[in-house]
Every structure is written in C-alpha cells, then in structure tokens.
Structure 1
Amino acid sequence: MLGINGTELIILAVIAVIVLGPERLPEYAAQLARLVKQVRRMAAGAKEQLREEVGDEIVDMDWRKLDPRQYDPRRIIKEALLDDDDLPAPSAGATAAGAAGAAGTAVKAVSRPTPAAAERLEQGQPAPFDIEAT
C-alpha cells in the first residue's frame, strides 16, 4: 500500500490524532473512506468503458511483447547490420547479373552501388574534398 509499512502507518495515525484532534478525526476518516470508494468506482468504470470501446481483443493481448525493457538497442542494431550478410556475394570475375544468370535461378540479383567514401585510397593519396559540401 504505497510503500508504507505497519510502523509508519501507526505513526501517521498518531500524528493525525494529534493534529486533527479526537473530535474531528471520525469525520475525516469517513471522508477518506468515501474518497477511496469513489476512486475505486471511477477506476472500475474507466476499465469497463475501455473494454466496451476497444473490445475483447484487448483482454487477449500479450502485454509482455510491448514491454520496452525487453528491447536491447545493441541487439537490434546488430541484427539489422547482419541482415545484409545473408545475400550471396558475386564471384570476383563475374558481375552480379552474370552470376545470377550463370546459376540459372529466376531470382534477379540487385547490384549495390559502392559509395565513393568506401573505396580505398592509395598510400599518400589525399582524401577527396568537396568545397560545396559545407
């Protein structure tokens, strides 16, 4: 109950008796009981309204799949990077289209353009610089 143990609850009750006095304490206790009942009634009503509007499929939903604590960004990035490794690489002497044609498969090979930044520079060659890039 809100992280309050028995000892703390007794201390709060003693403080309430001292602050409110024994003559006003029953009134405030009754108001607190009404407030708690009203909040429970409102929560039950909201739950029922949600069930009516969304339907019964919300009851059957596995909420653990949507738990954000289960997502590990390192694992997601690793899986995304390794997905490209599943494609077969063309041989050194053949092009991607030639390799697919030579294999006799109906699958169309996709050639990927190699970005200029990924090309290796010769020893001592300066890196390319584009004045208009900035």
Structure 2
Amino acid sequence: MLFDINGGEWIILLLVAALVIGPARLPGYAEQLGKLVRRGRVFLREAKARVDEELGDEAKDVDWASLDPRRYDPRRIVREALLDDPTPPVRPVTKQSASTPATTAVRGGAAAAAVPAVPVSPPFDDEAT
C-alpha cells in the first residue's frame, strides 16, 4: 500500500487539501502532481533499462529478494558460516637439494647452528579474528 494509508485517511487528506489550497487552485495543483508522477514513472523505467543494459546478463541471474535487508537474519548467517567447513590451504613441501648443506657455520666459525631441511610454517588458527 502507498504510505500505509487506508481509504478513509485519503479522503480526510483530500478534504484538508481542498480547504487549505482552495477550490480555485486545487485543479492546477492536481495537474502538476499528475505530471510529476508521470515523469517519475518514466525516469524509473529509463533508469531500470539503463541498469539492465549496463549490467547485461549478470543482473538477470541476481536474486534481488535474497538481498532484501528485511530478510537479514544474523543467526542464520552465523549458523551457515559454522556449518561451512572449508579446508585450509596446504603448502607444498619442498625437499632441500643434496648440494645445500643442512648446517651453516655461525660467524667466526665458533659454532654450527642446525637449519631444518624443511621450512616450518607458523601455526595457523582458522577461528582467530
């Protein structure tokens, strides 16, 4: 419904408008309102055609009803996110070539530090914020 106004309220609004504006000027204002509504409809029709033309086939596949903010339910979104269990990406393990030494000498040659042959990745917490 238009502005959630019922028929009785429309009649009261029209009577108040007729009294405030006056019966002599009321037809002119009604005509201007009619022109404004027609121009608004033409503008909206052209804007919709322009959006459809620029978005092309991509816009035809969009479910606009699902994007309605009145259908927003944070509990459903959280539930779907918790049930959706994507596997974390796995890093490929590279083997160190035989020509690369497993240990390197520390400056001054006083001590040798062991270098792991396979790089260790830091722990990954997929539930961290």
After TM superposition, the score normalised by the length of structure 2 is 0.56
Consecutive unaligned residues in structure 1, runs of 5 or more: 87-110, 116-134
Amino acid at match of 1:29: A
> Which residue identity does 2:79 align to in structure 1?
R
- Give the corresponding residue for 1:25: 26
Q: Which amino acid aligns with 1:74?
A: V
| 2: CA distance, partners of 1:8 / 1:114 | 63
SS in 1 for 2:19: helix
Q: Percent identity?
A: 43
Question: What is aligned with 2:48?
Answer: 47
The residue number in structure 2 matching 1:79 is: 83
What RMSD in Å do the two structures reach over aligned CA positions?
3.2
Between the two structures, name the one with larger relative contact order (CA 8 Å, sep ≥ 6): 2
How much does 1:2 deviate?
Answer: 1.7
Provide the C-alpha distance between the structure 2 equivalents of 1:62 and 1:70, rounded to a whole number of angstroms.
17
* CA distance 1:20–1:76, shift in 2 (3 Å): same
TM-score by length of 1: 0.54
Q: Which has the higher strand share?
A: 2
| Aligned-partner SS, 1:61 | coil
Matches for 1:88-127 after TM superposition, within 5 Å: 113=123
Deviating 4+ runs (over 6 angstroms): none
Q: Describe how 1:54-73 pairs up with structure 2 within 5 A.
A: 54-67=55-68, 69-72=72-75, 73=77
Aligned pair count reads 90
**CA apart distance, 1:75:** 0.9
Amino acid at match of 1:7: G
- Separation (CA, whole Å) in 1 of partners of 2:80 and 2:19: 58
Deviations 1:65-110 (A, max 9, x none): 4455155343145336xx38x9xxxxxxxxxxxxxxxxxxxxxxxx
In structure 1, C-alpha distance between the alignment counterparts of 2:49 and 2:35, rounded to whole Å: 21
Q: Which structure dedicates a bigger proportion of its chain to helix?
A: 1
> Measured at CA, do residues 48 and 4 of structure 1 come closer, stay the same or move farther in structure 2, by a change above 3 Å?
same
